[in-house]
Amino acid sequence: MLPPTYRSGWPLIPSVSPAPPPDASDMPTPPSDDSHLRKRTPSEKPPSSRNAPATPTTPAQSPSHGVPNPSTRTSKLLVALISLALTSYFAYNKLGNIVQPSSPSEPYALCSREGAHIYTLDAKNPRVQCLVVNGSKFMSSGSLDQVLSHWHETTPGQPHVRFLKPGQIVVPGLSDSHAHVLEYGATKQMPLEGTKSIAETVGRVRAYIEADPDILEDKTKYVEGWGWDHTKWLLEEWPTYNALEADPIVAGRPVVLQSKDGHALWVSLTVLQAMEPLPDEVEGGVIVRDSFGKPTGVFLDNAQDLVIRPEPTYKQLQKRFAATVKDAHSLGLTAVHDAGFNPMSLEFFRREAQSSTLPIRVYGMKYFDETAAYWGDSFDKIIRAGNNRLSVRSVKIFADGALRSGGAALYEPYTDNPETRGFMRIAPEMLNEVIPKFMKDGWQVNVHAIGDRANGVVLDAFEAALAKANVTALRPRLEHAQILAQRDMARFGDLGVIASVQPTHAISDMWFAEDRLGPERVKGLYAFRSIIDHGARITLGSDFPVEDMNPLAGFYAAITRVSPDGTSPHGPGGWFPEQRMTREEALKGMTLDPAYASFTEDILGSITPGKFADFVVLSQDIMTIPASDVLSTRVVATVMDGKPVYGAI
């Protein structure tokens, strides 16, 4: 029986914004050595995807699951009356008083009136009408009748019920399996992406200096930026320090500019002179020189370690982290895998986790420095610290460089530069030595490998480790796994190696890849379907700030293999369309598979009773709408531990 009066809906549960960073004194982060300057730890990354959002469209209708799909006006009216009655019923307690959540921690149900529009990624119950959250965890899922019946059997009272708006869906909290958290925050300082020439890039540096009086008036202050991409300039060439010195405002200052893919640094004459004397060669890296043998100011891969700069302060790192988290939450990300904790970033995240609950889940890979002593048997792993939000139980090793800069290690020479096959950044002998050691000591080993030779060498090392460790149980990962020889494809599944890939790299690189690799070898580049068909798991990431942070951009690239404007070198059907992923595989690659790849599938990755209530409300159904409409999808709410951190439910 309906109550005598009716009040529609429930108060929105608002997002819970992370508390602002404490007003810590602007003191330097405790250094990892005795110096206030650090050698730059390289981080890998090729070029960016241009994500131009499409115009929003009306979502396609999908079949209802668990709820009738009325086709007549009468049945629609009946469903509306039932919905009204249910909403009214839950708006009142047994005394007839309106019940409103006093805090977001109270139990609630979130349901769709349109059918099973909650994608759980739970194999036992893949699509449901409702989910129920109790505290920080999912309590149950199913149809409205099922969840209410379960509630009545286990819990006194009634859950608060909210309904999705028409067209909206729910998916588990999204994860980015390969990202650079603090580096992304740093790119907000002076972004250089999108310039068309060296002169335009220098112009941005000048504008940045002129906009900051402290830097303008003090020529000793370091000027740092990120994102230049020489392959996108009208004249494709490496920059030099001369271009920086030619501008009267920029000249004479210490300037350090990181390339878009993270594999090159461009520095000013002031920085170059401070680095002298330079070695003739750097193993696994290149000091770019002119025709007279003089350094030009560009350093590739391991040679970047020679560049020194001041350590950022703790307060600066907090600002970078906060900037990253703000964008991540707005895009539906609840977890990130940080692909390379150097001593500074490791100490920062450890300190943050000890002082407060991290605002996002972070799975960190501890950076391996081949010049340092082996530490796998002495460093204590960090597992689910800070309220299950920080883990450091994997090691990150760099095998080679990047395809864009010609550093990816290939079996055969580059088609467009037959004089080189790229290079390994670490000797195969060392890989065969340290990988079994780390695995024996219980570490997950994650290796950056781009070229087919690099991937083959790393798979050899994983295979050799079988004698000392259960490789599959330790879930080793090939980060990028970009170019694979056919003979290496099957070894992923056989060894239990996870392919950690970035789909937006594919639609960025497809425009130059065949010129670089040739018509046959290019077929092994970003071969996602072949990897899956050989029994391997694929986990998806963006490599932000190299590519767009938006996980839906990766979803779109994985299922279409076309640019955001719908084009590709092979036409609108996609670049090597036979390598596309299904939507189900792509969603799994952003949810359940990243949880598996970070040893958290028992608590994260799906909407399953007992797991932490991380989920995302999307404005339209990415599983059914035309692929061209995916990029117009908005994140309505991002929820962690049952509480919105972005938007409202």
**Interhelix angle for 343-355 vs 314-330, to 10°?**
70
pLDDT score, position 94 = 30
- Per-residue pLDDT tens digits for 483-517: 999 889 889 889 999 999 999 999 999 999 999 99
Q: Which CATH number fits domain 38-50+183-310: 3.40.640.10, 3.30.70.260, 3.40.50.300, 3.10.310.70?
A: 3.10.310.70
Q: What are the distances in angstroms from CA 375 to CA 378, 449, 462?
A: 5, 22, 19
pLDDT at 48 over 90: no
C-alpha 185/C-alpha 188 separation (Å) is: 6
pLDDT score, position 60 = 37
Helix, strand or coil, per DSSP, at residue 593:
helix
Q: Which residue has the higher pLDDT, 39 or 344?
A: 344
Q: Which residue has the tokens 């529609």?
A: 8
Provide the pLDDT confidence category of residue 469 given band limits of 50, 70 and 90: confident
- Per-residue pLDDT tens digits for 565-623: 999 999 999 999 999 999 999 999 999 999 999 999 999 999 999 999 999 999 999 99
Q: Which residue has the tokens 């024996």?
A: 440
Provide the pLDDT confidence category of residue 392 given band limits of 50, 70 and 90: very high
- Per-residue pLDDT tens digits for 520-579: 999 999 999 999 999 999 999 999 999 999 999 999 999 999 999 999 999 999 999 999
When pLDDT is averaged across residues 469-477 and rounded to a whole number, the result is: 91
pLDDT score, position 189 = 81
Q: Which of 507, 413, 421, 494 is nearest to 460 (CA)?
A: 494
Q: What are the distances in angstroms from CA 469 to CA 440, 462, 501?
A: 5, 10, 25
How many Cβ atoms from other residues are within 10 Å of residue 439's Cβ?
24
When pLDDT is averaged across residues 383-407 and rounded to a whole number, the result is: 93
Task: Please give the structure tokens belonging to residue 328.
Answer: 């991540």
When pLDDT is averaged across residues 628-641 and rounded to a whole number, the result is: 98
Helix, strand or coil, per DSSP, at residue 475:
coil
Read off the amino acid at residue 416: D
C-alpha 117/C-alpha 127 separation (Å) is: 7
* Contact between 587 and 119 (Cβ < 8 Å): yes
C-alpha 447/C-alpha 229 separation (Å) is: 24
Average pLDDT of the residues of the chain = 86
C-alpha 398/C-alpha 425 separation (Å) is: 6
* Contact between 389 and 450 (Cβ < 8 Å): no
pLDDT at 294 over 60: yes
Provide the pLDDT confidence category of residue 186 given band limits of 50, 70 and 90: confident
pTM: 0.79
DSSP per-residue string spanning 244-302: HHTSTTTTTS-EEEEETTSSEEEE-HHHHHHTPSPPS-BTTEEEEE-TTS-EEEEEEEG
8 φ/ψ angles, rounded to the nearest 5 degrees? -75, 135
Q: What are the distances in angstroms from CA 123 to CA 56, 467, 588, 606?
A: 31, 34, 11, 9
Residues 6+ apart with CB under 8 A from 334: 173, 174, 175, 360, 361, 614, 616, 638, 639, 640, 645
Tell me which of 155-164, 213-222, 434-443 is least confident.
155-164
C-alpha 407/C-alpha 282 separation (Å) is: 13
Q: What are the distances in angstroms from CA 544 to CA 504, 586, 587?
A: 10, 18, 19
Task: Please give the structure tokens belonging to residue 147.
Answer: 């969840």
- Per-residue pLDDT tens digits for 359-378: 999 999 999 998 889 999 99
| Bond into 277 cis (ω within 30) | yes
pLDDT score, position 157 = 74
Specify the domain boundaries for CATH 3.10.310.70 within the chain.
38-50+183-310
How many Cβ atoms from other residues are within 10 Å of residue 253's Cβ?
23
- Per-residue pLDDT tens digits for 209-258: 999 999 999 999 999 998 898 988 988 899 999 999 999 999 999 999 99
Task: Please give the structure tokens belonging to residue 67.
Answer: 């709820």
* Contact between 182 and 43 (Cβ < 8 Å): no
pLDDT score, position 12 = 55
C-alpha 482/C-alpha 592 separation (Å) is: 22
Provide the pLDDT confidence category of residue 16 given band limits of 50, 70 and 90: low
Provide the pLDDT confidence category of residue 98 given band limits of 50, 70 and 90: very low
pLDDT score, position 150 = 86
